[in-house]
Amino acid sequence: MSNSKEFRKTILAVYLSSIIAGSGTAGLNAILQKLSEAYPQYSRDTIYLISTMPSLAALVTILILGPIVGKKLNVKTTMIIGLILCLVGGVMPAIFYRSYALILFFRIAFGIGLGFISYRLTIILNMCGADTRPKILGTNLVFQHLGGALIQILAGLFGDIHYSAAFYVYLITIVPLLMVFSVNVDKRPDVSTEGEQKQAVKGGIDRRIWVYFFVTILINIAYSIPSLNNSSFVAFRGFGEASVAGTTQACFTVGAACAGLLLDSFVKHTKKYIVTAYSAILLLAVALIMLSNNVILYGLGMFLVGFSTQNTFSIMLMYGRSMTLEPNVPQVQSIISSAGYLGCFMASYVISLIGSIIPGNVLITSLYFTIALASILCIVFFVKDPRPKELQEAK
């Protein structure tokens, strides 16, 4: 199956869809400062909803779809609906930019679309065996984040013309939409290995999945804080305007793409301290961001944030898949993916809470919080092995 022409077309359709997911909720972070200036009557928290509300919409959508995708609703239909919603919800704010309420309405529609297309990962988890899964997931990350980086840079450049022009970048959604129409993603064998079948809980979902759910929430809060504050931090440090913010945001996505290129290449996800190592890289990255006095160091910090957090997310997916049989894969994937969107949504409220509790510049104090969070993850996973039992026992 993995060498067939149909398989290659299907995986390419997944990769192209991932470009849209890569721009995701952070795709317009470069214009948040300009939106604040265009709508001075709204608070920073309200403006941030343009970036965070799609995460909540995606979260709710994933939770609703989890029990029915692959059973009552096939994956291809799910993907088509999602891409149409991403196209409409992505582009329409460029037309109705004079109304903040309408912009937010279409961003919610875009988020619902993200929830639908998140099931592209189910295709990879189901069609690829344990030996090829890291490579395919890694290549998916490359498409997702390099494509997302391009969209973020373009959004920043268009945003320098006018903030409304940034929304036109989502016209690119037409390409994966046409590709998904042309493939059949629902006919596949169960590629679970004998070891995975032994590891899986018969007829249900292993409760340890909720550990990975919680870790994914924390990881996404940790990366969303510098991502949400990016345009404001760039302006605060005097690095430049929207185009610079778009480029530094793209550094994050390039880092995530490199995570895909190197996933399992040097250090396998089966190793004991791999999650601890990526948490340590996140700690270093946020320290670089906070201490940076030039845009190059700042961009490097954003790059390392993307590299560490996206590797960790992929590892959580593979851990979950290793203990799950094929019929339950969509539900497990929905649990971990929803945790990612929940973390992104919570991040802006965490920033607001930090600002209300701790005196000083919230751009800096929220980074202290992220450093503390990364430090806790390092310590916890150094002491407690997060791997599934089968991987812990493997020599």
pLDDT tens by residue, 79-101? 889 899 999 998 999 898 888 89
- Which candidate, 255, 76, 107, places its Cα nearest to that of 176? 76
More confident residue, 384 or 250: 384
Residue 102: band (very low, low, confident or very high) from pLDDT cuts 50, 70, 90: very high
Q: What is the mean pLDDT of the chain?
A: 79
In CATH, what number is assigned to the domain containing residue 79? 1.20.1250.20
pLDDT over 90 (residue 231): no
pLDDT over 50 (residue 201): no
pLDDT at 1: 45
List all residues 6 or more positions away from 382 whose beta carbon is below 8 Å from its beta carbon: 273, 276
Distance CA 203, CA 194 (A): 16
pTM of the model: 0.69
Query: What's CA 351's distance to the chain center, in Å?
Result: 19
How large a percentage of the chain has pLDDT more than 70?
83
- Stretch 215-238: mean pLDDT: 85
Distance CA 46, CA 37 (A): 13
Distance CA 321, CA 364 (A): 37
Distance CA 192, CA 171 (A): 37
How large a percentage of the chain has pLDDT more than 90?
8
Strand extents, DSSP E, 151-265:
none
Distance CA 152, CA 176 (A): 18
Distance CA 132, CA 125 (A): 10
Residue 379: band (very low, low, confident or very high) from pLDDT cuts 50, 70, 90: very high
- Stretch 128-145: mean pLDDT: 73
More confident residue, 364 or 243: 364
With H, G, I as helix, E, B as strand and everything else as coil, classify residue 69.
strand
Query: What's CA 251's distance to the chain center, in Å?
Result: 14
Phi first, then psi: what are they for 73, rounded to 5°? -130, 120
* Alpha-carbon distances of 84 from 90, 101, 153, 181, 291, rounded to whole Å: 10, 21, 23, 11, 42
Residue 198: band (very low, low, confident or very high) from pLDDT cuts 50, 70, 90: very low
pLDDT at 39: 86
The amino acid at 351 = I
Q: What is the pLDDT of residues 304-354, one digit of tens each?
A: 998 888 888 888 877 877 776 666 677 777 788 788 878 877 887 888 888
**Encoded tokens for 223:** 């990366």
311-330 in b/e form (b: 16+ CB < 10 A) is bbbbbbbbbbbbbbbbebbb
- Stretch 6-20: mean pLDDT: 79
More confident residue, 69 or 223: 223
- Stretch 136-152: mean pLDDT: 77
Q: What is the pLDDT of residues 266-286, one digit of tens each?
A: 556 667 788 888 889 999 998
pLDDT at 194: 46
pLDDT at 50: 84
Please tell me the total count of domains within the chain: 1
pLDDT at 342: 83
Radius of gyration over alpha carbons of the chain, in Å? 20
Residue 71: band (very low, low, confident or very high) from pLDDT cuts 50, 70, 90: low
Distance CA 310, CA 140 (A): 11
**Encoded tokens for 285:** 């990255």
Domain that holds residue 247: 5-393
Orientation angle between helical segments 75-91 and 120-127, nearest 10 degrees: 150
Query: What's CA 328's distance to the chain center, in Å?
Result: 22
Question: Torsion over CA of 135, 223, 109 and 143, rounded to 10 degrees?
Answer: -30
pLDDT at 269: 64
